[in-house]
Amino acid sequence: MKLNIKNIIGVSLLTLSLGACTDTVKFGNAFLEKAPGGTVTADTVFSNPEYTRNFLAGIYATQYYNLPTNSTNAAPQCQNYWKGMPDALGDDFHLLFNNTIVFGKYYNGSLTSAIDGNKNGNIYPYTNEYIWENVRHCWILIENIDKVPDMTDAEKARIKDEARCLMAYAYFIAFRFYGGLPIIKGSFTGSEGSYDLPRRSVESTVNFMVDQLNTVIKNKALPWAYEGSEAASETGHWTLAGAMALKCKVLQFAASPLFNDAQPYWQGKYTVEADTCAWYGGSKPELWQQLKQACADFFAQMNANGHYHLVQPLGTTQEDYRYAFRSGYILQNSPEILHSIRRSNNSHGNDYGWYNLGWGGKANGSGGNGRYAYCPTQEYVEMFPWADGTPFDWDKAQQEGKLDYMFVKGDTVKGQQLLQNLQYTRDPRLYETVMVNGDRQTLNWGDGRASGANWEMWVGGTTAGTQPMTNDGIYGTGYRMLKYIVGEVMRRKKPQWNAIMLSDIYLTYAEALLQADNNATEAIKYVDAVRARVGLKGLIECNPGKNLTSNKQALLDEILRERACDLAFQLERYFDMIRYKRADLFERTLHGLRIYRLVKDKNDNWVREESQWYNKSFNKKLKEDDPNFYEPSHFDFERFAITTGARSWWTSGFDPKWYLQPFPITEVNKGYGLTQNAGW
């Protein structure tokens, strides 16, 4: 098949779009200070080092960023909150905002391969995410940078390898959504008559990404990390550590059963024109070995070069553990971040809706907008263990009378309205990811201590109001998301989204050790390292009945659960379910939690009270014998099935076509060899 390159790239062959050439586009804390704009020729771009650096910055500006930040039909669509996040398609979060593609096309099962006039259709629009524009611009850099005057050879080599990383990253994001892709190996001049660019196999696509990254790793032109004074201006650029970690991510997805299995994922349901575009053609155990080696290479370099490490707590309190976890992902200079991406310099800025609308303008978060109603599910909350690391079991906790303490536990002290000696009873990561009943609202940026009013997540409470009952709004499941939001303490701080985290690579290595060699003992060490930094005991000690050293599936389940707890909104849980073909998880009905405050009536019986406490009782000069004087600590709990946006998969089953996204039918029909995915 022949293809005019503009069919797939959709940009002019004669001009380049980039950041204004005379303006400096800064990185680090001032990363992406200016948005890309303007049109100039390649000759102009590569006549001046600053123009070239700004052209590179323009590619960085359109990397995939998982947190939707504004309203737009323009590329890249990952920024558009009317589309919705892929994370809301897993079992950890459910989006209760109905004016999104996630809610309107995925939950009801109505998605097709059609696209609208803005080139948008599915969760990752093939022709409106800057995939191919970025790939072409990367090749333009690689092919032309040697022409640039007054630039050192070392900088030229570094920029070439940054471009290779940017290109591999663009391919990787698209690969997880679509499988095999057309492979572009040059920028094209515009003088060629036609180009043979059909869709390529999974194997070819993986090899292309790995080849780019292997070149970077071999060249060693990129620094392992940016430190000292360089960190302020250069953090956000790809590094050697980031390249090695991305290689691990590519091989992890490639080795997983979605593509690497005895039968294709659509077996018995569909016939496919080119099956190797979404299947290796059989099971290839050597892929797990390749992943294991890539992870081993990464950790060998980390041990030799330093800089990156899991952030350790400064003490042994829950607040210490929470602060360590939060610091690990939210601070731009965190040693846990292997590659991060920016969209704004200020979380409070009008261009950064993730915080500005997600949290809102009020200190207690009550001004949050429903467009960010990514509500944690009960299934997700129950993945988080108790504070010592033992699994949370609802039935067991109910039988033992511990449901009142499943989030916090405190003492009612005479004369003190708020609970005293407050203990956080669950995995510290829960409180950093999910807003739960009884947690304190005010966080200290410097040490992570929590204080102030309690979150009232019960029906009728000050915080959640009636939303858990009506199953809508930002509290519609009885919980609210906090990851990358944090709270009022985050206002006017420097936001980013972390494309690759060190804890991810720890857990990826654990998975590789298990799958490649069935080396459970060594795998558990890497999982336990991730758990230890938040105060959890080891897997074996906490799960004595699961036979984790001999039961491979049980250990794999624990690894995937740990990934869910540690990597919320990292675009991981949804794809973990995809790559392991977990139709059973996609099909299970998801739930929320309704909490009812209990008070004593005049007959000394516990009855439900659907009313606020803090706003009506705290510091209101109530008498100590008034039942409303003390902070509520006794509740009724109901797990309820989510009905708002109930997913068709829950009743009709999970069609395997959903494992990959549909290519736009308009692209398929152009006849250049873009074969459609199964079922679309």
Tell me the C-alpha distance between 535 and 389, whole Å.
8
Confidence (pTM)? 0.93
Q: What is residue 190's predicted lDDT score, i.e. its pLDDT?
A: 54
For the chain, which ranges sit under pLDDT 70? Answer: 1-39, 189-196
- Contacts of residue 232, defined as CB under 8 A and 6 or more positions apart, other chains included, come to 28, 29
Q: What is residue 19's predicted lDDT score, i.e. its pLDDT?
A: 37
Q: What is residue 613's predicted lDDT score, i.e. its pLDDT?
A: 97
Please give the C-alpha separations between residue 102 and each of 11, 371, 646, in angstroms, as whole numbers.
28, 12, 12
Q: What is residue 195's predicted lDDT score, i.e. its pLDDT?
A: 54
Tell me the C-alpha distance between 288 and 678, whole Å.
25
359 phi/psi in degrees, rounded to 5: -100, -40
Q: What is residue 16's predicted lDDT score, i.e. its pLDDT?
A: 52
Tell me the C-alpha distance between 314 and 255, whole Å.
38
- The answer to whether the bond into 376 is cis (omega within 30° of 0) is no
* Closest by Cα among 252, 327, 603, 672 to 489: 327
pLDDT tens per residue, range 76-112: 999 999 999 999 999 999 999 999 999 999 999 999 9
Burial of 296 (0-12, 13-18, 19+ CB in 10 A): middle
Which H/E stretch holds residue 421? strand 420-424
Q: What is residue 356's predicted lDDT score, i.e. its pLDDT?
A: 87
Q: What is residue 148's predicted lDDT score, i.e. its pLDDT?
A: 98
Which H/E stretch holds residue 51? helix 49-60
Tell me the C-alpha distance between 191 and 210, whole Å.
30
- Is residue 276 a contact partner of residue 259, using CB atoms and an 8 Å limit? no
CB atoms within 10 A of CB 285: 10
